[in-house]
Amino acid sequence: MITLDRDESAFVTALRTADLDGGPSTSSLVAAARLDGARLRRHRRAATGAAAVASLAVVAVAGVLAHRPAGSPRSDLPIASPGTPHHSAKADHRLRDPHRAARGAVGGLPYVRSMTGPQPTRGLRTSSLGSDDASAPPSGYALLGAPGWTQSGSAGDGKIAYVDGSAEVELVWRTADGFGAKWAEGTVVGRTTLDGDDAAAYEQAGSVTVVAPPRDGWFLTLTGTSGVSVDQLLQLATQVRRQ
Amino acid sequence: MSVGDDEQKRVDDFTAFVDATAPRLYRSALLLAGDRHLAEDLLQTTYARLFASWTRVRRTGNPVGYARTTLTHVFLSHRRVRRNTEVPTDALAEGDEPHGTAPEVRLDLLAALRLLPPLDRSVLVLRYWEDRSVAETAADLGLSEVAVRSRANRALARLRPHVTQLQEDCS
């Protein structure tokens, strides 16, 4: 009976003898990382801003409740009841706090400014990466507007998966550096349009991918990942819209 | 030093890091993904995440380890999104042609690894390709050390017939 150590040894030997060379070039990886990374940072800043706004809304509601007059509905709630020792102490503290005005004197919100933090300005790019950032695709990349297909999630920063029952497709943005080389080994199995651009469908490694021409350093692919025929994929591609 | 100089220095530093780590990280991605295109996508996503936080990554003092962990997490999260659309099969996918000196070994090894659940695959790659200890693998994957050992044992046992066949084919 083979022992575990022999299993491990055999597996390590197989790893060492396997040829795993290849892969993208450093320049293409760095270019893609700069573009994707800049977009990631923008998304993180936007998410931080959204979270701050949500927190602000919660605190604002709490502040409004805390300042309801004594006769208003539900004024018997302990946390919001004016006149309770707890409330009075807090209110008095706010009144005595000399720094309150400087922090934003919204009723019941002494810490508003420090909670919101800097907000990204809509319509302006927030990355500091300069010219590369200008060629980054707009957020949202592209959408599949076919009836019955719903977005099931996103993988990585440039992919959106859609499902329709058991069928699944994947929209992917890729840097133009990989255009051509990646699909050169594939077989063209059909032609269609993708957001008005002529696009070819390639069969490769058992899956079919519609490849759109590059725009602004990026190109879009639509891959049938599960339960989609070539004809279906060609039809679906016509319903993809770049944003 | 201006902001532009800082940014250029940051990019240069990151470029040097990619240059030094990409071949090794690509091989790890290939073993995890079992597919060259997916491996490239995983690698790209990993480097994008690193670049987005490059200053902080540098401060960790171990950017290579950070990259390795990020790659594993990217792979596992990708697998969760794909929701098992990849069906394990003994048949090799057409078109995934290898290049190099031992194509049969490479194809069979990748095909055999694809038979394993993603987490088991990650355990094997970290333990036996990245040469991480049981404790380090457990920390990277958020598992207990016992779970890492049992998953590794089970995965190796499942690979046993394929690896044995590989050795016979090569000898």
Q: CA of A4, closest CA in chain B: separation in Å? A: 7
CB contact under 8 A, B4 and A44: no
Is residue A17 within 8 Å of B105, Cβ to Cβ? Answer: yes
pLDDT tens-digit profile of A46-99? 777 777 777 778 877 877 777 666 555 544 444 433 444 444 444 444 434 444
- The strand pairing partners of A163, in sequence order, are A150, A168
| Banded model confidence at residue B32, pLDDT cuts 50, 70, 90 | very high
* Overall average pLDDT of the A168-175 stretch: 80
Residue B88's pLDDT is: 46
Residue A214's pLDDT is: 79
Q: Tell me the pLDDT of chain B averaged across its residues.
A: 80
Is residue B134 within 8 Å of A21, Cβ to Cβ? Answer: no
B26 Cβ under 8 Å from any chain A Cβ = yes
CB contact under 8 A, B44 and A32: yes
DSSP β-ladder status, A207-211 and A197-204: antiparallel
Nearest to A40 among B11, B52, B129 (CB): B52
Q: Contacts of residue B164 in chain A, CB cutoff 8 Å? A: 10
B61 Cβ under 8 Å from any chain A Cβ = no
Q: What percent of chain A has pLDDT over 90?
A: 0
Looking at chain B, which residue has its C-alpha nearest residue A152? B81
Residue A4's pLDDT is: 52
CB contact under 8 A, B40 and A178: yes
**Whether pLDDT at A14 is above 60:** yes
Residue B163's pLDDT is: 81
Looking at chain B, which residue has its C-alpha nearest residue A29? B44
Q: CA of B122, closest CA in chain A: separation in Å? A: 14
**Whether pLDDT at B152 is above 80:** yes
Identify which of A12-16, A131-135, B106-110 has the greatest average pLDDT: A12-16
DSSP conformation letters of B1-46: --HHHHHHHHHHHHHHHHHHHHHHHHHHHHHHHSSHHHHHHHHHHH
CB contact under 8 A, A11 and B166: no
CB contact under 8 A, A157 and B96: no
B107 Cβ under 8 Å from any chain A Cβ = no
More confident residue, B89 or B148: B148
SS3 of chain B: helix, strand, coil, percent, to 5 = 75, 0, 25
- Does residue A123 sit in helix, strand or coil? coil
Residue B78's pLDDT is: 75
Q: Contacts of residue A2 in chain B, CB cutoff 8 Å? A: 160
| Banded model confidence at residue A162, pLDDT cuts 50, 70, 90 | confident
Q: Tell me the pLDDT of chain A averaged across its residues.
A: 66
Q: What percent of chain A has pLDDT over 70?
A: 60
Tokens matching residue A144? 């599949």
CB contact under 8 A, B82 and A17: no
Q: Contacts of residue A130 in chain B, CB cutoff 8 Å? A: 4, 7
Give, in degrees to the nearest 5, the angle at Cα A156 between A155 and A157: 115
Which segment of A27-41, A50-64, A131-145 scores lowest on mean pLDDT? Answer: A131-145
**Whether pLDDT at B162 is above 90:** no
